[in-house]
Chain A
Amino acid sequence: MLRIDRRYFHNFDWILLALLVGISGMALANLYSASYPPSPWGIPPYIKQCYLFLLGLLGILFILCFDYKELHFWNYPFYIFIILLLLFVLFAGNTAGGAQRWINLGLFKLQPSELAKLSLVVTLASYYSRKEQPEGYGLKGMVGPVLLTGLPFVLILKQPDLGTALMLGIIFVSMTVFAKVRWQTYVCGIVFGSAAGVFAWFYLLKAYQKRRIETLLNPGKDPMGQGYQILQSKIAVGSGGVSGKGFQEGTQGHLHFLPERHTDFAFAVWGEEWGFAGSLFFLTAYLGMLIWGLYVAMTARDRFGVFLSFGVVMLIFWQAVINLLMILGLLPVVGIPLPLVSYGGSSLLTTLLGLGILMNVRMRRFQIGQNKEKMK
């Protein structure tokens, strides 16, 4: 099984690889600029991110060695492993900013909640691809997926990491709608969803989370508190103008006006230094990657392949949209990174593994007889 047929090499997804390397290159350059002035201690973030990028490429290579269909088998063990990790961080993880999210691995701090996103994509893809429902899923069919999503959702919410938990919810909704559900299910989902939202607002959300949402609705009310981050981010992007201030010339980031400038707000540094033109260039590449991902789904040879690639695209797409809208001041600050661009080992690895799955689906888009015979 590990022996790779030469035809696979022929079918290798060079386009996706090129897009991914190009985007990561821009991201690393941006990170280099954002981490100036260098901190006198520790490895600079862009070096760390380089290592992790290489590690991620190795991960992709590893994934390509197996037929993606094997994920049907490894899906639940992986899922259970992630749940155990989530339980572990909840009780013994490293605390940062009042939230328990990390397991320290030396080179980087593993955030199991990032891996949980990918795990959910694979799990739901496996679930929906196995049970064909031409009429669409009824309420009964929803029990499984809801439970599979709910467990990590609750564990992540408890950390507390509202952003990532919501991300799981969004993945669930995207993939479920894609799998087709009956209209009764829609009605129930909407009613239940809004009830849960109202409940959450009054009982679950912490004061600071509510403040962030209120700030967005009324930014003038609190310009120095929660509004500060959004305002500084808007100033950074806006002051970039048409052509930007130039590489390493951004003032917002370097003078520390911009918070979280190499993590969640990394794109604000890009926008400030490269302006509208640079941003457009970057977004085109990013959009290209997503559309190409959908094309991979189109050309997949089976249902599982379609669901997998669709799920991975949605995973990257929704995070990117939420992150960018937040930086541009259209969404509250929720702590969701821009995949491939924001500094953070767990997010980068998860994204690269997801893209590895996409390449895998693309590479095995044709039925290769020899493989099939061997299976029998």
Chain B
Amino acid sequence: MKWSGYKDLTEITEHNDAELDSLKRRIFFAGLVILFFAAIIVGRLWFLQIHKGDEYRNRAENNRVRMREVAAPRGSIKDKMGREMVTNRPSFNVVLVREDSSNVDELLKKLATALDLDISDLWERLRDASNKPKHIPVRLMEDVDWETLAYVENHNQEFPGIRIETIPSRVYHYGNLAAHVIGYLGEISKKELAARDTEIYTGGDLIGKMGLERLREADLRGEKGSSFSEVNARGFEQQILKNVEPLPGNDIQLTLDAELQKVAEDLMTAGDKAGAVVAMEVKTGRMLVLASTPVLPIDQFVGGISHKNWDALLDNPKNPLINKVVQAMYPPGSVYKMVTAMAGLVADVIDKDTVLYCPGHFYFGKRRYHCWKRGGHGAVNLKRAISESCDVYFYQVGLRVGIDRLAEMAHKFGLGHKSGIEMEHEKSGLIPTKEWKKKKYKKKWQEGETLSVAIGQGFNLVTPIQVCLMTATIANGGKQYLPQLIEKVTDPDGKVLSRFEPVVLDELKGEKRFLPLIRTGMEEVIQGRRGTARKVRIKGLTIGGKTGTAQVVRLKQYKHLKEEDIPYKYRDHAWFTCYAPADDPEIAVTVLVEHGLHGGSSAGPVARAILESYFGERLQLAAEAEAKTKKEE
């Protein structure tokens, strides 16, 4: 108790009586000050309530100056090149101010007949709002067309209390492009309202429900304005007295390239393919394409989605509501072989010249493990093993490395944990270890399971963005970048609030010396004579990649069937992941087609189209230059 300067309490109680008395005399003056102000307050009350009481009572009864909120235009969303993807347009709602209508019953009947509306729906809307004060407008119709608008405006004398409310609503210039990234808006729910600041949100406000609209709500929403107007006794606005303009939200520029995104979505949709397409700049982590199909019809959400449409979305077996880029997990299949190869090289159980023999199968324990090529690959080295995707080679590498070291390498490539991209409900995938199995199943790890894991089957699960991240890490020499999708955020005055900045999450150290070996194998996949993705070749561009087939079920009954005859939901998933140009990679593209059977034929063409579009100009210039030199010769 040193800080007080006293040793104990007794010292404090000793005091000078004369001093205390003079202090107490001053209290008397304080009392006078209090009485003085009390007198002022009572005087003022008398003045307001008695002297001017009647006047104020009159004013209270005729108090018709009303403040109304004016919604702020939300910020726009643009693509990498500054092309507008999402902006606003004015939309018109028909609203009722109950306080201004003497006979609501009759009014609604009249309105329903005039506009051919369902009166029970109108009543339900009124019931929902029964808790709200009577001067707060209740929405009767949302986003009405010009005809209705003109009718209501022209006949406003017949509908006292009915008003038109103008609010900004969303326009999607590219239709449903990048719907899962952008997300949609909806009316704020009671739960959401309770969790938020009531000074910013009120019932009936629109709020981001999904995607960036939700995640970047604070940036996009802007600040409401207010409008003061005088209303007469029948509820008609006589004149606007004052407007406080709303402050528009901040604009967001994405790293996405709308044209590339369109190529991806169009091709996937045209082939009726469900799945995901991801493309990123390998040296920065900028996401160029983030597509999930079937696309989400965000335009249906403007002004509220109908029950019918919502149920259709829920019932669609291809799950349009799921953002497959981050929210769906698949076995990686053969694209996982890069992890096994890298782990083998790092653990020094193989090198570039190690040759293993593939007779088409491999015996382990009492089981026979097949290679996808029943006839066998013969003697294969690492390069061939990757380019021809030899399972037997990787069974053996996996066994030598062991499950835990495989898992360690998988994490270094970005698998098995969330990438951290700004998207909702990201799944972390699953990379099994001995400890994981013990915890989850209370069982010991079986060596045979390592074999399945080594070729990307078994417990392994990954998301499309993780595979793209892995490809980028291999391509850029070992750096794992944080995938980002926002280039910059600017305020309405054009001031830049935040700008893209690459973030390195993890980096391979000495191990990165093995990456060129892996890349040689991946380049052979496309350029090689026997590569599994020869169809993806583009003239004038060297590409490195890997196909993958992820088994969904292993059912004997389907074995004898031709692929086209297997029921859709039992068909294998198809992966293709690649980077280009091979000598100095710029972009990584990953495509997953659900139940697409073969990576090379089903997923490959989508990746190829993206590369063609991305390098289009450069390829054309190179081709022209070549043609010119040929002519000259």
Contact = CB atoms under 8 A, between A and B. Distances in A.
B189 to A, nearest CB: 10
Contacts of B57: 238-239, 241
Interface in A229-244: 232, 234-242
Interface stretch (A12-20, A24-32, A70-78, A192-200): A70-78
Q: Among B12, B38, B59, B135, which residue has the most Cβ atoms of chain A within 10 A?
A: B12
Interface string B15-41: 110011011101100110011011011
B26 A178 contact: yes
A255 B67 CA distance: 11
A276 B59 contact: no
Given A241-B49, A276-B45, A256 B31 contact: no
Nearest to A317: B34
A375 B40 CA distance: 48
Given A39-B131, A96-B197, A224-B228, A238 B27 contact: no
Contact of B30 (A39, A73, A130, A310): A310
* Interface size class of chain A, counting residues whose CB lies under 8 Å from the partner chain: 35 or more
A196 to B, nearest CB: 23
Contacts of B197: 94-96
B20 A224 contact: no
A67 B9 contact: yes
Contacts of B54: 241
B56 A302 contact: no
A40 B189 CA distance: 12
B6 A72 contact: yes
Contact of B60 (A72, A236, A280, A321): A236
B10 A372 contact: yes
Interface residues of B, number: 62
A251 B136 CA distance: 15
Contact of B13 (A291, A302, A328): A302
A69 B14 CA distance: 12
Contacts of A97: 199
Contacts of B241: 223-224
Nearest to A290: B34
Interface string B127-145: 0000111111000000000
Contact of B9 (A38, A70, A178, A291): A70
B55 interface: yes
Given A287-B38, A303-B19, A367-B13, A238 B31 contact: no
Interface in A208-241: 223-225, 228, 232, 234-241
Interface string A278-291: 01100100010011
Contacts of A306: 20, 23-24, 27
Contacts of B3: 73, 76
B30 A276 contact: no
A126 B6 CA distance: 12
Contacts of B1: 73
Contact of A239 (B27, B40, B60, B134): B60
Interface in A325-374: 325, 328-330, 367, 372
Contacts of A234: 48, 56
B194 A42 contact: yes
Nearest to B199: A97
B45 A271 contact: yes
A119 interface: no
Contacts of B46: 276
A247 interface: no
Contacts of A49: none
A257 B65 CA distance: 8
Contact of A252 (B31, B34, B60, B132): B60
> Among B19, B31, B34, which residue has the most Cβ atoms of chain A within 10 A?
B34
Contacts of B4: 72-73, 75-76, 126
B50 interface: yes
Given A40-B190, A241-B50, A302-B20, A254 B133 contact: yes
B53 A238 contact: yes
User: Chain A: interface secondary structure?
Assistant: helix
B45 A280 contact: yes
A64 interface: no
B30 A240 contact: no
Question: Chain B interface mostly helix, strand, loop or mixed?
Answer: helix
A310 B27 contact: yes
B15 A302 contact: yes
A240 B35 CA distance: 24
Contacts of A225: 242, 244
Given A132-B16, A283-B42, A251 B131 contact: no
Given A241-B57, A290-B34, A235 B63 contact: yes
Contacts of B52: 238
A330 B53 contact: no
A242 B133 contact: no
Contacts of B136: 256
Contacts of B16: 132
A132 B18 CA distance: 11
A52 interface: no
A118 interface: no
A316 to B, nearest CB: 10
A313 interface: yes
Contacts of B20: 302-303, 306
B5 interface: yes
A298 B60 CA distance: 45
B41 A283 contact: yes
Contacts of B244: 225
Nearest to B241: A224
B44 interface: yes
B116 interface: no
A178 B30 contact: yes
B193 interface: yes
Given A67-B9, A96-B197, A298 B41 contact: no
Contact of B19 (A39, A130, A132, A317): A132
Given A238-B49, A239-B60, A254-B133, A283 B13 contact: no
Given A224-B242, A294-B31, A375-B9, A242 B41 contact: no
Nearest to A130: B5
A73 B1 CA distance: 6
B8 interface: yes
Contact of A224 (B6, B27, B35, B65): B65
Contacts of B5: 130
B336 to A, nearest CB: 42
Interface string A250-279: 011011110000000000000110011001
B9 A69 contact: yes
Contact of A41 (B19, B37, B190): B190
B30 A235 contact: no
Nearest to B190: A41
A256 B53 contact: no
Interface in A126-140: 126, 130, 132, 134
Nearest to B24: A298
A10 interface: no
A37 interface: yes
A59 to B, nearest CB: 22
A69 B12 contact: yes
A119 B190 CA distance: 38
The 3 A-B residue pairs with the shortest CB-CB distance in the complex, in nearest-first order:
A238-B56, A239-B60, A224-B242
9 contacts: A69-B9, A73-B3, A240-B49, A241-B50, A287-B38, A290-B34, A302-B15, A325-B40, A376-B8
Given A234-B56, A321-B41, A328-B44, 15 more contacts: A73-B1, A235-B59, A236-B60, A239-B61, A241-B57, A251-B60, A254-B133, A255-B134, A276-B45, A283-B38, A294-B31, A302-B12, A302-B15, A325-B44, A328-B41
